[in-house]
Structure 1
């Protein structure tokens, strides 16, 4: 039974890619070193998978920033604003690539970055392609060819992974009216054909086209685009092995379409959509191979071989061994690299370690499943050991706490409602807060310097005492408060210097959650996060933020916001237990945050922000599944936010998501103020709030914190005027797109100075 992998993490086992890119951006290394580190990571990934026994090893799954951006670069879909770099022969090609991802502000140029949004329902962010009516495509980059040749030199004939033509166009945006991006398929396909012609000339036998949109609701136009595209590709390459990869859900109504496409292999996600197997077995033409995504590519729990083999044997008995391949459910991009890197000093409980599987281990699970399918009797010991671990996890006292379950069952509808409706609350809050028009604030975090990160590491290692650490952090908080006062911000923050990550910080203080030492995954570009592992029932041990926030408030007569991460975001940005519904885990988290909200209010904090940037991200791919998710997700937020008095103002924050489809649910959250990311989209996302006539207050981000460029205040004024054209000024706040943790202090000071000036201009 053949095995293959859809993709592998590209950050390197020790985050080598992150480190070298950030060194390059800061001018501490050259572009040749960046390219060399990329070669080293690719080589290590390819050899590991080959040596593990994977039959078809992927290539072109590596990226220096984002695989969707790679395709825009590959096809020459480069927005005209970057022509000044494109035409500069003195700059390496990678500078143009990074400018598209991060913006560019030097050498007399000031170029905004391309828009960024979430990759389906994951916490990975991709760079959104930009299309115009007269868009032309051509092969601009040789990366795909170079990667295939590089692997071949190692003796590995890989399968090239490409985003399918239809999904690539659907991932983008029309930047002008009067056309559909799918109208461009006739111009794009010849470039795919040209690329495949070059690959097959080098000896490529297989190519994988990722078409995750087949797991979404499709219009007639989109269905026709799929049929046309793969008919043309098959006509051009009658003997090339084509793998059509779908993931993150079930094909459902698209099953007949997917099965009719003239490809050799259809890959399906049987972790997210196990129910689709029966329909596929009956619908799949006799000359098609079915690739079964049986190993979870998005979570880190060890595969239960007994359960998985039952599915595998059923498919094998029906279709035959030659028509079945085994693979992970999706690319392993969303998993940490290697469990072996946890080492002896891992903070994970020893029992928990045996329940887990990272990308390297998942590759081995794929190979083991294919072997066990044919030799189960000869591998009884392997099956017995795996079954024993599954049973141990199920029965572990680490997981279940009856008092937590009882508290969730006792939740009432009244627990998720504020005392009064927003118009009543608004009057009381304005009387208490006394803020000017266009009040200014930030999203929460300030730059985490190497010095601050070093203090945290020294505290963990015992080099620094708790008292000494507290003194250092308090001094940093005081500096931040004084600086914000001088700058003229209206609602201050304490800066979050004590926090490693907006989810990790809370997870470390909650029961039922554990952390890895090296479980890093890529969120975007060089941004790597270490998701918590929610393994059991969740509860709060003690206050988590109150002391720091109360200290900051004691330093100033101005308002200091309490900063919390919401239950849905903690859920979405964690590796979540798979033995109970996600909604149950989310309510447990909501109750823990609710306790913290009450304690902050009792400590005199008048404004409390509960960030929910992942609310839209968690939306199921199918419209039919939205209502159920939104009901429990919104209820969880309200449960966390509702125990306070009318004159306590609740904020929430969301970023990098399309809000149009769920604007009613966002209003149902009933936050007094919502701050959102809008600058990369030039306030386009604000249309949803305007068309819906959003009743509460809104802070549209006026500058992009994920780019190093500092916009002038006039640029922010223009965005605020655009916002004011659709939202009344008495509803508008002024703030950045997101937290400032990843920026330098110089960038932060300059940008916030411009932002305050923009707000003052608007008031005048």
Structure 2
């Protein structure tokens, strides 16, 4: 029996990678120092897993930015616009990687970043590969080989991890019409074969090919590609052991493909689909081992050993001990690094902490399950089993989890609670009369740059070095500065900047009952962006107003309309670590009622425009289309519950990013937000086609510049994008705004970009007004 891991967090227990990357980007550290930080993290992770008792330790799971982008570099899938970056001899491979991810605006060059989107149904973002008809590939980066050799020098024979060639192509996007990216498999496959051959010469034993698309709906052509790929790799390199990893869902009908592939082991996710174990056991051939993903790689709850052992025993009985592997359900990239860092001075309560396991602890769970499954080591792990049983029972019976009042309120919900008073057509006329906004009204998505000073004030407040009163005065002054500046440049609908907020979910979780927090529970969202998801452990309710005081204060400073800024119930759910002892729909309705109460109180405080952000609506979609309708029904209803307690004159906005809307556009319309703002700039307004084809009835704000890049777009560029939007959406429905919140940007670039944005809107109004 083998205990192995699919991937480990790369940010470092103290976010060392984030800090090193950002210092390098700002010129505060050298390239050499950045490389050393990466090397230190890789080696620490390998040694940690070795000491934990993991038999097969992954390599090439480390990345300075994103693992999909690394694969694009490996395969030489580098868009032509970056070739000047390559030719600049001062640039190295890693600088090219950063340019592709973040854009490039120096050395006389002005190059846009590649598109970014969500990694399946997680909150991790990857850089989308760009493909062209008849595209050729060639080995450009040998990172996977270099890191295998690096570990070998430490005396550790790792299991290199590669995104499988079929999934890599399916993760990308065709940048021209007239071809299917899966047809590029014949051009791509030689690069993979070259890599595997090179690894084989270094005495690699196992290679892990991640093929998560095997858990999705596939076309016949895509199914055939899997057979083509793995038969060819096996033919060229017969000695290497291949572990085919699937995760995030069950194989279902794709089991028929997998059982015929010439691979040595198959990994399945039993956290997401425990029911697939029986059919998989009955289908795989004798030559194939089975890896059981029983430890949750996406949540922070302690594994239930008794439950997991039933899966292991079932597999052992059917397949034999030698053919069973034990692992997390997926890469541990999605979990925080180390629960041991949550000491007595953190926010976690000891009772609740005992119910949890972070990445380091999950490694121990995998190893303990292996020990408990083997006769010769079972006795030595008996104490861990008894402690685990006590912790699981403690959580099940804890009085902290259940709130009868909350449960009763959710049970009493009716369809009427999810409907506005009037249709959008009626509401729009009333809102036009009440708000008096111009054509192409300008606004931002909510947050403004959180400067070093703002972060220092928050840190000093937590340490007791700044009184709450002094902190509040600092934040009020910063808020007033932001409002005066917005008035000065002429933005139509203002925001207060959210300087009092740490994170768009954590801020609300801190004020809701049913939540707890970690101090060091950071996970990577994209690049150097890390988030610290709050933890929903029990029934959720709102004991007090959360944003009303700050919104009312901001509105008191200006005659212009001030948006109230809230995070929506589905996003709060998706971007938290969620309790797993009740349906997610029930937890979402609890959150929706809490947000509804806040919306009503904002309206009472004189806020006439309220934004309820739902960037995670599409992210929450089940991976199989057959399961979509059930999810969309409760997700859309939860948003409407949150938004429907106000008068017609109150304008409800929502914001979404990194979403392909074509296949769920009807559900987006069903949300019935008065205004939706969406990410559009990286895709050059392509996302608007879905709204145009559907004849979307409500108002839309397509983002005109990419806030995830330091690049500052020109006014003409924004006008160009909005003219593309006008070609498919009536001008009367359009707003002008950035792609997303500006919290992670710097003020210098923000000022330039927003001034250009306002100028663009003014230029747009004149010809429209004349034509009308």
- Measured against the shorter chain, the TM-score band is over 0.9
Cα-to-partner distance string for 1:306-349 (whole Å, 9 max, x where unaligned): 11111111111111101110000000000000111112211011
| 313-322 or 418-427, which deviates more | 313-322
Q: Check if 1:15 corresponds to 2:23.
A: no
Instruction: Give the corresponding residue for 1:308.
Output: 308
Contact 1:481 1:494 in 2 (8 A): yes
Aligned counterparts, 1:572-587, within 5 A: 572-587=574-589
Cα-to-partner distance string for 1:30-79 (whole Å, 9 max, x where unaligned): 11111110000000000000111111100000000000000001111000
Instruction: Give the corresponding residue for 1:686.
Output: 688
Instruction: Give the corresponding residue for 1:470.
Output: 472
- Distance (whole Å) between structure 2 residues aligned to residue 353 and residue 341 of structure 1: 11
Cα-to-partner distance string for 1:370-399 (whole Å, 9 max, x where unaligned): 110124455332211110110001111110
- Distance (whole Å) between structure 1 residues aligned to residue 423 and residue 258 of structure 2: 48
Instruction: Give the corresponding residue for 1:296.
Output: 296
Contact 2:372 2:382 in 1 (8 A): no
How many equivalent pairs are there?
A: 764
Q: Check if 1:646 corresponds to 2:651.
A: no
Contact 1:702 1:735 in 2 (8 A): yes
Deviation of 1:401 after TM superposition, in Å, equals: 0.6
Instruction: Give the corresponding residue for 1:431.
Output: 433
- The match for 2:750 among 736, 748, 751 is 748
- Distance (whole Å) between structure 2 residues aligned to residue 533 and residue 382 of structure 1: 25
Q: Check if 1:270 corresponds to 2:273.
A: no
- The match for 2:629 among 610, 627, 630 is 627
- Provide the secondary structure at the position in 2 that maps to 1:208: strand
Q: Check if 1:234 corresponds to 2:234.
A: yes
- The match for 1:564 among 556, 563, 566 is 566
- Provide the secondary structure at the position in 2 that maps to 1:456: helix
Instruction: Give the corresponding residue for 1:595.
Output: 597
Contact 2:291 2:324 in 1 (8 A): yes
Instruction: Give the corresponding residue for 2:81.
Output: 81
Cα-to-partner distance string for 1:158-209 (whole Å, 9 max, x where unaligned): 0100000000000000101111111110010001011111111111111000
Instruction: Give the corresponding residue for 1:224.
Output: 224
Q: Check if 1:669 corresponds to 2:671.
A: yes
Contact 1:651 1:674 in 2 (8 A): yes
Deviation of 1:467 after TM superposition, in Å, equals: 1.1
- Distance (whole Å) between structure 2 residues aligned to residue 457 and residue 682 of structure 1: 39
Instruction: Give the corresponding residue for 1:722.
Output: 724
- Distance (whole Å) between structure 2 residues aligned to residue 286 and residue 141 of structure 1: 36
Instruction: Give the corresponding residue for 1:516.
Output: 518
Q: Check if 1:256 corresponds to 2:266.
A: no
**Structure 1, gaps ≥5 residues long:** none
Contact 1:441 1:735 in 2 (8 A): yes
Deviation of 1:287 after TM superposition, in Å, equals: 1.0
- The match for 2:736 among 730, 734, 750 is 734
- Distance (whole Å) between structure 1 residues aligned to residue 143 and residue 384 of structure 2: 41
Instruction: Give the corresponding residue for 1:610.
Output: 612
- Distance (whole Å) between structure 1 residues aligned to residue 230 and residue 321 of structure 2: 26
Instruction: Give the corresponding residue for 1:162.
Output: 162
- Distance (whole Å) between structure 2 residues aligned to residue 490 and residue 412 of structure 1: 37
- Distance (whole Å) between structure 2 residues aligned to residue 442 and residue 701 of structure 1: 9
Cα-to-partner distance string for 1:409-461 (whole Å, 9 max, x where unaligned): 01011000000000000000000000000000000000000110111111122
Contact 2:68 2:168 in 1 (8 A): yes
- The match for 1:385 among 387, 399, 408 is 387
- Distance (whole Å) between structure 2 residues aligned to residue 293 and residue 370 of structure 1: 12
- The match for 2:703 among 701, 704, 714 is 701
Cα-to-partner distance string for 1:116-139 (whole Å, 9 max, x where unaligned): 000000000000000011311111
- Provide the secondary structure at the position in 2 that maps to 1:6: coil
- Provide the secondary structure at the position in 1 that maps to 2:110: strand
Instruction: Give the corresponding residue for 1:124.
Output: 124
- Distance (whole Å) between structure 1 residues aligned to residue 560 and residue 194 of structure 2: 62
| 522-531 or 25-34, which deviates more | 25-34
- Distance (whole Å) between structure 2 residues aligned to residue 749 and residue 479 of structure 1: 13
- Distance (whole Å) between structure 1 residues aligned to residue 63 and residue 310 of structure 2: 36
- Distance (whole Å) between structure 2 residues aligned to residue 175 and residue 472 of structure 1: 48
| 429-438 or 103-112, which deviates more | 103-112
- Provide the secondary structure at the position in 2 that maps to 1:267: strand
- Provide the secondary structure at the position in 2 that maps to 1:561: strand
Aligned counterparts, 1:95-114, within 5 A: 95-114=95-114
- Provide the secondary structure at the position in 2 that maps to 1:113: coil
- Provide the secondary structure at the position in 1 that maps to 2:374: helix
- Distance (whole Å) between structure 2 residues aligned to residue 379 and residue 473 of structure 1: 53
- Provide the secondary structure at the position in 2 that maps to 1:717: helix
- Distance (whole Å) between structure 1 residues aligned to residue 383 and residue 470 of structure 2: 52
Contact 1:31 1:94 in 2 (8 A): no
Q: Check if 1:503 corresponds to 2:497.
A: no
Contact 1:31 1:92 in 2 (8 A): no
- Provide the secondary structure at the position in 2 that maps to 1:29: coil
Instruction: Give the corresponding residue for 1:494.
Output: 496
Instruction: Give the corresponding residue for 1:183.
Output: 183
Deviation of 1:258 after TM superposition, in Å, equals: 1.0
**Structure 2, gaps ≥5 residues long:** 767-772
Q: Check if 1:554 corresponds to 2:556.
A: yes
Aligned counterparts, 1:336-375, within 5 A: 336-375=336-375
- Distance (whole Å) between structure 1 residues aligned to residue 495 and residue 323 of structure 2: 59
- Distance (whole Å) between structure 1 residues aligned to residue 151 and residue 216 of structure 2: 34
Contact 2:445 2:737 in 1 (8 A): yes
Contact 1:492 1:558 in 2 (8 A): yes
- Provide the secondary structure at the position in 2 that maps to 1:299: coil
- Provide the secondary structure at the position in 1 that maps to 2:208: strand
TM-score normalised per structure 1: 0.99
- Distance (whole Å) between structure 2 residues aligned to residue 734 and residue 62 of structure 1: 38
| 451-460 or 149-158, which deviates more | 451-460
- Provide the secondary structure at the position in 2 that maps to 1:110: coil
Contact 2:368 2:381 in 1 (8 A): no
Instruction: Give the corresponding residue for 2:115.
Output: 115
- Distance (whole Å) between structure 2 residues aligned to residue 121 and residue 465 of structure 1: 41
Cα-to-partner distance string for 1:493-534 (whole Å, 9 max, x where unaligned): 000000000000000000000110000000000000000000
Cα-to-partner distance string for 1:517-558 (whole Å, 9 max, x where unaligned): 000000000000000000000000100000000000001100
Cα-to-partner distance string for 1:611-660 (whole Å, 9 max, x where unaligned): 00000000000001000000000000000000000000000000011111
Instruction: Give the corresponding residue for 2:141.
Output: 141
Cα-to-partner distance string for 1:568-598 (whole Å, 9 max, x where unaligned): 0000000000000000000000000000000
- Distance (whole Å) between structure 1 residues aligned to residue 311 and residue 92 of structure 2: 50
| 349-358 or 86-95, which deviates more | 86-95
- Distance (whole Å) between structure 1 residues aligned to residue 23 and residue 592 of structure 2: 39
Instruction: Give the corresponding residue for 2:72.
Output: 72
Deviation of 1:465 after TM superposition, in Å, equals: 1.2
- Provide the secondary structure at the position in 1 that maps to 2:539: strand
- Distance (whole Å) between structure 2 residues aligned to residue 203 and residue 32 of structure 1: 29
Cα-to-partner distance string for 1:702-751 (whole Å, 9 max, x where unaligned): 00000000000101111000000000000000000000000000010000
Contact 1:703 1:736 in 2 (8 A): yes
